[in-house]
């Protein structure tokens, strides 16, 4: 059985002090959920978040990383640095990074391999645009993104990887989430492609999340789907109602 996992993506929110306050205020509820809980916080708040979460079982992750260990990359953070801090997870290839910061399928793969090298658990984001969905290209886009992301990844390492399906059109303020049927269908496509590339066993134990306007109203039904193993939660993860999402299921 794949254990449910809910990851919060705080994006560019919370200073170290407010990150600490949020975790302390919600730690008991978050830690008591029948799910793995990961909070992906801004770089500057990583240490404060880890200090606040210590001993609770809540894992702390970063929202991005570079694919080189060191060098002339002003403003970047390496997997080696994150691992040295004690960070456990890292989001790679979020649609906001792809659209606004020139993230590509190639850099996603390089970052994934580097994260694995340093013992980090990568949360790989894939998803189609509204235009691609309207053109009935969702399946082709997801297969392509998975093919690139998992290049040179060993089947035995698939248990160390989390994949998040995040339709670009369902992300952001005012966005409409995918229907339960759309989310399950897309996650099934992802799992099928993993099976094709890495084998049925790898596909069976890799955890696939849905992300895109996850909230207390839709989380329970989403998490009940056979190919959805939890959620990557954006804005709702910065609110007290995140406790309700965590406990759905």
In this prediction the pTM is: 0.96
Residue 248, pLDDT score = 82
* 3-state class (DSSP) for residue 202: helix
94 catalytic per annotation: yes
166 catalytic per annotation: yes
Range from 42-46, 144-148, 197-201, 241-245 carrying the lowest mean pLDDT: 241-245
For residue 156, the tally of other CB atoms under 10 A from its CB is 11
Distance CA 35, CA 8 (A): 13
> What angle, rounded to 10 degrees, do the helices at 138-149 and 105-117 form?
40
Instruction: Retrieve residue 143's tokens.
Output: 């297969």
**237 touches 230 (CB < 8 A):** no
In order of start, what are the domains of the chain with their CATH numbers?
5-246 (3.20.20.70)
Cβ-based neighbours of 218, under 8 Å, separated by 6 or more: 177, 180
Catalytic residue, candidates 96, 103, 128, 166: 166
pLDDT > 70? residue 193: yes
Give residue-wise pLDDT tens across range 135-186. 999 999 999 999 999 999 999 999 999 999 999 998 877 778 899 999 999 9
Tokens 């994260």 sit at which residue?
115
Residue 17, pLDDT score = 98
Give how far the C-alpha of residue 61 lies from the chain's centroid of Cα atoms, to the nearest Å: 9
Catalytic residue, candidates 94, 96, 128, 184: 94
Residue 249, pLDDT score = 66
Give residue-wise pLDDT tens across range 23-45. 999 999 998 989 999 999 999 99
Distance CA 217, CA 221 (A): 9
């Amino acid at each position: 059985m794949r254990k449910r996992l809910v990851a919060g993506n705080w994006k560019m929110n919370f200073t170290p002090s407010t990150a600490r306050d949020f975790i302390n205020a919600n730690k008991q509820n978050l830690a008591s959920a029948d799910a793995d809980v990961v909070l992906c916080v801004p770089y500057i708040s990583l240490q404060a978040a880890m200090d606040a979460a210590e001993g609770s079982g809540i894992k702390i992750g970063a929202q991005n990383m570079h694919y080189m260990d060191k060098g002339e990359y002003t403003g970047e953070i390496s997997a080696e640095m994150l691992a040295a801090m004690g960070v456990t997870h890292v989001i790679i290839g979020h649609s906001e990074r792809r659209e606004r910061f020139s993230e590509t399928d190639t850099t996603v793969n390089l970052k994934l391999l580097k994260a694995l090298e340093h013992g980090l658990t990568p949360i790989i984001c894939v998803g189609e645009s509204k235009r691609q969905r309207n053109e009935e290209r969702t399946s082709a886009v997801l297969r392509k993104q998975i093919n690139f992301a998992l290049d040179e990844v060993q089947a035995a390492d698939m248990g160390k990887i989390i994949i998040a399906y995040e339709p670009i059109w369902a992300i952001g303020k005012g966005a409409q989430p995918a229907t339960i049927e759309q989310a399950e269908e897309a996650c099934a496509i992802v799992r099928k492609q993993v099976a094709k590339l890495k084998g049925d066993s790898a596909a069976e134990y890799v955890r696939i999340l849905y992300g895109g306007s996850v909230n207390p109203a839709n989380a329970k039904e989403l998490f009940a789907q056979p190919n959805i193993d939890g959620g990557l939660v954006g804005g709702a993860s910065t609110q007290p109602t995140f406790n309700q999402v965590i406990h759905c299921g």
